[in-house]
Amino acid sequence: MSKLRDAARNQNCMVRIPGICNFNSETTVLAHYRLSGTCGLAMKPMDLLGAWACSDCHHVLDGRRNTAYDRSTLDLMHLEGMCRTIAALYKQGKLP
């Protein structure tokens, strides 16, 4: 497991999908953002392109749970969560 994926353990969810987020830091994992050119079939993007997400937010982002949110809105929430995650990693001294 990479240091960035491992760093997600017991962190607050940074995606925070309204009405979905369980706010349970014990379920937090790194949810990779799928961006064209950074991933492919059976290949995840680099770990820097991810957000700390609780299990419920992660299920929605990965399409395992349906919501009323459209894909563009979910992508924006994921990107905002990724920015919050990068900022938290920087503050923790885990990024240069």
| Sequence spans of domains, the chain | 3-91
Q: 32, 58, 59, 78: which one is catalytic?
A: 32
Residues 6+ apart with CB under 8 A from 83: none
The SS3 assignment for 16 reads: coil
pLDDT in tens, the chain (96 residues): 589 999 999 999 999 999 999 999 999 999 998 866 566 566 677 788 899 999 999 999 999 999 999 999 999 999 999 999 999 999 999 988
- Radius of gyration from C-alpha coordinates of the chain: 13
Q: How many CB atoms lie within 10 A of CB 71?
A: 9
Which residues are within 8 A (CB) of 34 and not within 5 positions of it... i.e. 6 or more apart?
A: 45
Give the model's pLDDT for residue 39. Answer: 60
pTM for the complete prediction? 0.89
pLDDT at 38: 60
Q: Are strands 50-53 and 29-32 parallel, antiparallel or unpaired?
A: antiparallel
- The pLDDT, as a whole number, for residue 43 is 65
**pLDDT at position 66:** 95
Residue 32 annotated among the catalytic residues of the structure: yes
| Residue 64 neighbours by CB distance under 10 Å | 8
3-state helix, strand, coil in the chain (%, to 5): 35, 10, 50
Tokens of 56: 């419920």
Looking at domain 3-91, its CATH architecture is 2-Layer Sandwich (3.30)
